[in-house]
Amino acid sequence: PPQPAMVQLLINNNNAIPSSSFTIASSAVNIDKTMLKGLEKETREVEKEAKKDEKKARYEQSRAAFSDYDAQMAAETEARIEKMEQKALVEEIKDKAEVERLKALEEQVEKEAAQATDSKEKALKQKEAKELLAKEKK
């Protein structure tokens, strides 16, 4: 097979260049290849580590985002509960006032019923008192 001109020249001038020069050149090529393989391996390891770090960073970022979301949801839930408690308190106050008003009205109707002179008027007042009592119990 035909060989490159430089190699052919070296072979033809074998006596002109000592054989140790070929060994040195060959060994330098081997050292370069070994060094290159080592650097490639080191590069792959560094890239692998970088991917791990990136994955870990994304995981931590997701965790932080979820934590923020969870805290926001908890705050919103707390605010809704507080609002419902306030509304229930207002309703309770209104209901107490209504009960007091109905009791006073019932007492007044019973008093009027006791003071009524004829039986029809008395029956009508007692009926009103019963209706007020039923409303009060609701």
pLDDT tens-place string over residues 64-120: 999 999 999 999 999 999 999 999 999 999 999 988 988 888 888 878 777 777 777
Contacts of 129 by beta carbon, 8 Å cutoff, 6+ apart: 106, 109, 110, 113
Task: Locate 84 and state its tokens.
Answer: 């419902």
The rounded distance, in Å, linking the Cα atoms of 125 and 106 is 10
CA 10 to chain CA mean position, Å: 73
> What is the domain extent for residue 45?
5-137
State the total domains in the chain.
1
Residues in the chain: 138
This prediction's pTM = 0.45
Alpha helices per DSSP H over 1-138: 5-12, 19-115, 119-137
Tell me the pLDDT tens digit for each residue of 105-124: 888 887 877 777 777 777 77
Number of Cβ within a 10 Å radius of residue 137: 8
